[in-house]
Structures are given as structure tokens and as C-alpha cells.
Amino acid sequence: MPVSLRLIVGLGNPGPAYAATRHSIGTAFVRHLAERFAITFAPTAKFKAEAGRGSVAGVNLRLLLPGLYMNQSGQVVGPYARYYRIEPAEILVAHDEVAFAPGVIRLKSGGGANGHNGLKSLMEHLGAQDFHRLRIGVGHPGDKACMVRYLTEAPMPPEERGKAAAAFRLDDAVLTALVRGELGLAMNRLHQPAEQQNAGADC
């Protein structure tokens, strides 16, 4: 039986200085979701985060934006999930993915961190890696030496951000399957046969 989602987490770095960066695209997605379903965020009393609760495609769940830096995200998500008795398999994490071009979104269940510090932190503090991931393409700088600046310092160009924002608007069938835990159906509807890789950019 599918297990419905109970929590969607948007990964990113906190504060306005990082809001337009590629590393905070997960936060941008969850804010979009909150706006789409009229869910209001508020600072949490017990956790360093913004949180909201409401119905997303007919499923009542929580939205969470950690208020710590990316590599400390698990210090918020782990205690929050335990407090509300939310299992890792009931969690979807939206995060930036350099393997995909802007405008490409892919779903994945479980697996390793693949070098992503936010996912590493979540695995450490959840004590598991079987949460679901919404991997939002931000492209690759072409040179690993440029990665930190590319993700955390340079704002995402408007054209690329527009492509990402357009991809946020998951159609009703995909979103309904996703929040109901019908991940296979959601993947089949969302994933295209061919994936475009970003050709790279100058740093």
C-alpha cells in the first residue's frame, strides 16, 4: 500500500542573500507550493525553521523550511520529524540537482547523498536514507572548482530561474500521485524519455 506524504522539506540557505541562488531552489519550490495551496508559513516555536500545514492535492501535510545552513539541515528536520512522529518514508525533500539542466525535475526514492551536503545532513539526523527526493535541475558550472560559487554565491540567471519556476508547476495528476505516495505513477507521468544535460557554463 502506498504511504502518503506527511512532510515536504525545501532545502536551501537561509536569508535574503541566498534566496535567488541555485542552492536554494528547493526552498523556492516549497514556497511556490505553499502559495499554490494557500498555506501560510510561520516561525516555529520549537525549531529553527518556518513551517506551515494544509491540504496539498487533497492530502493534509506539513511544509518545512529549515532556518539553518544547508549542511545543517538535518539538525532541524530530524528533531521536527521525530516530534511529529513522521517516518522518513513519509518525507519528500526538494533540493538542487547539478546533474540536470534548469527546467528538469526528477523524483527519486532513497539512495545516497551523491555529494549533496543537505542530503548528507538529513541522512545523519534522520538515521535513514529512505526519504523521497524531488531533484530540481540547476545545471553544472562545467568545472568542479567553480561549484561553491556557482551554487551559493551567484544568483541564478533570470532565464534559468524562469525555466525552473515553470517546472515547479507540476500538473494535478503528478502532484496528486506524489502526495498520495504513489511514487511509481508520479515518476511515470513526470519523467520524460530523454534527459537533457546542461552543457556547462563559465564561472
Task: Examine residue 196 and state whether it is found in any structural domain, yes or no.
Answer: no
Return the pLDDT at 192.
56
Structural domain of residue 126, as residue ranges?
7-190
Q: Which of 75 and 115 is assigned the larger pLDDT?
A: 75
146 vs 124: CA distance, rounded Å = 27
What total number of domains does the chain contain? 1
pTM for the predicted model, two decimal places: 0.92
Return the pLDDT at 149.
92
Mean pLDDT along residues 165-187: 93
- Grade residue 196 by pLDDT with cuts at 50, 70 and 90: very low
SS3 for the chain is CCCCCCEEEECCCCCCCCCCEHHHHHHHHHHHHHHHCCCCCEECCCCCEEEEEEEECCEEEEEEEECCCHHHCHHHHHHHHHHCCCCHHHEEEEEEECCCCCCCEEEEECCCCCCCHHHHHHHHHHCCCCCEEEEEECCCCCCHHHHHHHHHHCECCHHHHHHHHHHHCCCHHHHHHHHCCCHHHHHHHHCCCCCCCCCCCCC
Sheet holding 59-66, edge to edge: 42-43, 49-56, 59-66, 7-10, 91-97, 132-137, 105-109
Task: Examine residue 23 and state whether it is found in any structural domain, yes or no.
Answer: yes
Q: Could you tell me the CATH number of the domain that includes residue 167?
A: 3.40.50.1470
- Grade residue 194 by pLDDT with cuts at 50, 70 and 90: very low
- Chain segment 111-128, per-residue pLDDT in tens: 998 889 999 999 999 999
Selected catalytic residue, list 23, 95, 125, 140: 23
% of the chain surpassing 70 pLDDT? 94
- Chain segment 10-53, per-residue pLDDT in tens: 999 999 999 999 999 999 999 999 999 999 999 998 999 999 99
Which of 2, 9, 25, 6 minimizes the C-alpha distance to 133? 9
Question: Residues 121, 126, 132, CA angle at the centre, nearest 5°?
Answer: 85
- Annotation says 23 is catalytic: yes
Mean pLDDT along residues 168-175: 92
Return the pLDDT at 193.
52
Task: Examine residue 38 and state whether it is found in any structural domain, yes or no.
Answer: yes
Task: Examine residue 195 and state whether it is found in any structural domain, yes or no.
Answer: no
Task: Examine residue 197 and state whether it is found in any structural domain, yes or no.
Answer: no
Task: Examine residue 202 and state whether it is found in any structural domain, yes or no.
Answer: no
Return the pLDDT at 2.
84
131 vs 197: CA distance, rounded Å = 25
Here the cell at position 35 is 502559495
pLDDT exceeds cutoff 80 at 200: no
Return the pLDDT at 198.
40
Task: Examine residue 203 and state whether it is found in any structural domain, yes or no.
Answer: no
